[in-house]
Amino acid sequence: MVSTLISDGMAIRIEVRKSWRALIPALPFFFGAFYLFVATALGLKNLITASGHTIGEYLSVFLFLIFGLALNAAGLLIASSRFFVIDKARGEVSRTFQIGPLKWRRRRKLSDFNLVRVDWEPDSDGRGGTYFVCLSGEAGTGALRLSSFESSPPANALARELGGALGLPFRDAPGRVSGANRAI
């Protein structure tokens, strides 16, 4: 995933975009949905123009429509995007999940977080892993994962930049504290 940090004084926006290669798996879902929508349209045309239909013909048109909508929804989920806005003036962090024009937001207080850290989670096969840039707080406060990376240097760079912009200390994946002389 590609992450971009945009700061304009009192607000910081972290955009998490997928590369074009990550959007390729959505294409079969869109093509399948298109095929089912065409079949639905042809079935409706047949139902409207001809007479003497059975309940099975109505049911098949309805099922084509339902399966087409389901495939289209799966493709939209794969092609969805998300971003975070950290508003220092309001003291809140909002996470926005976007599918086309629809947006869902979840807001949390900025005061709940006191550390920017990079977590490393190994893959199941043990050959690699993923680095996550997180905002974390005291015990009992759930960490907020902002972005993921395949290597440590870009994750550390984003975490350092974010920690500097928010005035929070930074902890990299091995566990040492950087960016501020503060015990954790």
In the structure, how many helices (H) and strands (E) does the chain have? 4, 10
pLDDT value at position 83? Answer: 85
- CATH number of 2-18+80-171, picked from 2.30.29, 1.10.3470, 2.30.30, 1.10.760: 2.30.29
Reported as a single tens digit per residue, the pLDDT across 158-170 is 888 888 888 888 8
Closest-CA residue to 112 (of 141, 86, 134): 141
User: Measured at the alpha carbon of residue 82, what is the angle toward residues 79 and 121, in degrees to the nearest 5?
Assistant: 95
Q: What are phi and psi of 176, to 5 degrees?
A: -90, 155
Residue-range domain boundaries for the chain? 2-18+80-171, 23-78
pLDDT value at position 61? Answer: 92
* DSSP per position, 90-121: TTEEEEEEEETTEEEEEEEEGGGEEEEEEEEE
Instruction: Report helix, strand or coil for 138.
Output: coil
pLDDT value at position 65? Answer: 96
Q: What is the pTM of this model?
A: 0.64
pLDDT value at position 181? Answer: 36
pLDDT value at position 176? Answer: 43
